[in-house]
A and B are shown apart, each in its own frame.
Chain A
Amino acid sequence: MPKQGVVPDDLTRPFWEAANEHRLVIQSCVACKHLQHPPAPVCRVCGSDTVEWKEMSGRGTIYNYGVVHDCPIRLLQEDQPFNVAVVMLAEDPGIQMYSHLPGTPVDEVPVGAEVEVTFEATANGQMVPEWRVVGSSGEGGEPA
Chain B
Amino acid sequence: MILISFDIDGTLTVGDPPGILPMDMVRAVKEQGCLVGSCSDRPISAQRAIWASHDIEVDFTVSKHMLPDVKAEFEADMYYHIGDREDLDRRPALEAGFEFLWPHEAVDMPWVDGPDA
Contact = CB atoms under 8 A, between A and B. Distances in A.
B115 to A, nearest CB: 37
Nearest to B65: A69
A70 B65 CA distance: 11
A77 B91 CA distance: 10
B73 interface: no
Interface string A63-85: 00000011000000100000000
B93 to A, nearest CB: 14
Interface of B: 65, 87, 91
Contacts of B91: 77
Interface of A: 69-70, 77
4 contacts: A69-B65, A70-B87, A77-B87, A77-B91
Contacts of B65: 69
A133 B68 CA distance: 31
A77 B85 CA distance: 13
Contacts of B87: 70, 77
- 4 tightest CB-CB pairs across the interface, nearest first? A77-B87, A77-B91, A69-B65, A70-B87
Contacts of A70: 87
Contacts of A77: 87, 91
Nearest to B64: A70
Nearest to B91: A77
A55 B36 CA distance: 60
Nearest to A78: B91
Contacts of A69: 65
B68 to A, nearest CB: 13
Nearest to A77: B87
A42 B65 CA distance: 46
Nearest to A71: B87
B41 to A, nearest CB: 10
A69 to B, nearest CB: 8
A89 to B, nearest CB: 34
A70 B87 CA distance: 9
A69 B88 CA distance: 11
